[in-house]
């Protein structure tokens, strides 16, 4: 009897521990936490509409990713043009990130404080590479990221429900388009 009870207790404890572990993993994603916090604010009537929240969270995560990858490029890139592009990413995106933080504070929008899991995977992947392989992968990522960024900011500049968010997106969009143009040229020159 004691043996059976002990086995059941161990099995239950194991399942409980596993469930807690899975919840911990989910709660570590800063992007998901920001979305959840914004949903609660919206339901309580103290937050912004979904499209405004989603834009801000995606823009913040993308901006943090650009800064982190830009720092890596400054450190690891072999090609001086790739290093220079990395420096431009750090400078331009730090400025935009700060503007977005200020705007989010005014609008009661929670932003992620660290990279989301998917963005962190990009950083981890690039950290493993060196030399020309790093340069090519970084530039490929930047082309893809900036295509997505331009689309995201264009949609917000055209359609965001909040005038200040719309203005921020419209103001930032030309810089992102410049980045996309520059990185596309770099990509072609590396082929």
Give me the pLDDT at residue 52, please.
83
Which run of H or of E encompasses 47? Answer: none
- CA-to-CA dists, residue 80 to 38, 74, 76, 77, angstroms: 41, 9, 10, 7
Give me the pLDDT at residue 29, please.
76
Mean pLDDT split into 10-residue runs, the chain, 191 residues = 46 43 50 60 57 89 96 96 97 97 91 90 95 96 96 96 94 98 95 75
Domains of the chain: 2-190 (1.20.1260.10)
Q: Which of 27, 168, 46, 176 is nearest to 110 (CA)?
A: 46
Task: Answer yes or no: are the C-beta atoms of 61 and 120 closer than 8 Å.
Answer: no
Q: Tell whether pTM > 0.85.
A: no
108 burial level (CB within 10 Å; 0-12, 13-18, 19+): middle
Task: Answer yes or no: are the C-beta atoms of 83 and 77 closer than 8 Å.
Answer: yes
Give me the pLDDT at residue 191, please.
75
For helices 131-159 and 50-76, the axis angle rounded to 10 degrees is 160
- CA-to-CA dists, residue 123 to 12, 27, 61, 70, 117, angstroms: 38, 20, 12, 10, 10
């Amino acid at each position: 009897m004691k043996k059976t009870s002990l086995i059941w207790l161990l099995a239950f404890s194991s399942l409980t521990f596993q469930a807690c572990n899975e919840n911990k993993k989910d709660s570590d994603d800063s992007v998901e936490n920001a979305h959840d916090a914004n949903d609660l604010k919206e339901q309580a009537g103290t937050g912004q509409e979904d499209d405004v929240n989603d834009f801000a969270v995606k823009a913040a995560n993308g901006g943090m990713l650009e800064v982190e990858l830009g720092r890596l490029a400054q450190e690891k890139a072999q090609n001086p043009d790739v290093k220079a592009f990395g420096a431009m990413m750090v400078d331009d995106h730090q400025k935009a990130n700060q503007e977005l933080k200020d705007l989010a504070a005014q609008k009661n929008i929670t932003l992620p404080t660290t990279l989301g899991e998917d963005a962190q995977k990009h950083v981890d992947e690039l950290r493993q590479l060196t030399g020309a392989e790093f340069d090519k992968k970084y530039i490929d990522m930047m082309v893809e990221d900036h295509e997505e960024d331009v689309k995201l900011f264009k949609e917000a500049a055209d359609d965001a429900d909040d005038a200040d968010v719309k203005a921020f997106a419209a103001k930032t969009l030309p810089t992102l388009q410049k980045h996309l143009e520059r990185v596309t040229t770099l990509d072609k020159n590396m082929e």
